[in-house]
Amino acid sequence: MQHRLYIVGAGPGDPDLLTVKAHRVLMEADMVLYDALLGKQILEMLPESCEKIYVGKTYKDQQDQIKRMCRINALMKKGVEEGKRVVRLKTGDPLIFGRGIEEVRFLRNEKIDYELVPGITAGIAAANHCQIPITERSINRTLLFCTGTTLDGDMKQFDAVSSMIQLGTPVMIYMGLNNLGSIIDKLIGNGVKADTSICAISKVSYPDEKMLFGNLSNFMSKLEQNPLEMPTIMLIGENIMPMLEEADELLNQCSDCNS
């Protein structure tokens, strides 16, 4: 079935990580509304006839998010009413730490035909690139996705996160680089061991991807010596370091990997 509008997960940025369906939909698009942080190669592969409109946001860009969402909704509706094949292209997966569901609600209210196309979220891509076993038989059976940034700056969720880490659950933290010092203090204050492993992966899947790892007690000093750019994914857990230590070839290739 052909839909007039698709909300598509573009993955972390590498065009090779697009799903086959996402690629097909993009190749058939008349209009693409795209977010920030998408690799230029994905935009360059779009048909020349496709209208490309930037609707993203970046950290502290001072945009009014209500006005931004109203603009996105208006553009989606206008494109469909004009008979165009519209793609709302979102970084990662449309429903993980984004405003995808708000756009879905708008489309439902307007009775606009749409389809969601999943994408590879940055945390999963990061774990694979760094050979981190986020689940492993008989060791850890759960995985926690968490945001490091909230609208009100409240960090209460890390009370529960701390308990999960102590139970052996690895945690993926999105959008937490600027709050990382406070997050680490919160975790240690809640009883998480200071030698718990942490790995940060910057610009996942991009050519200039970087990785830095250590433990909760020394990571901020390592980060000061080896700054990372946003977007950055943090993985924290008791069982993530062993595989990193075994991946000698990977570590030797990465100048920012410190033991």
Tell me which residues are annotated as active site.
Answer: 35, 57
CB within 8 Å of 66: residues ≥ 6 apart: none
92: tokens are 């990662």
Return the number of other C-beta atoms located less than 10 Å from residue 19's C-beta. Answer: 16
Inter-residue contact 105 to 72 (CB < 8 Å): no
Instruction: Read off the tokens for 22.
Output: 């996402």
CB 211 within 8 A of CB 256: yes
Residue pointed to by tokens 């993530």: 240
Looking from the CA of 87 toward its CB, the CA atoms found within 13 Å total: 29
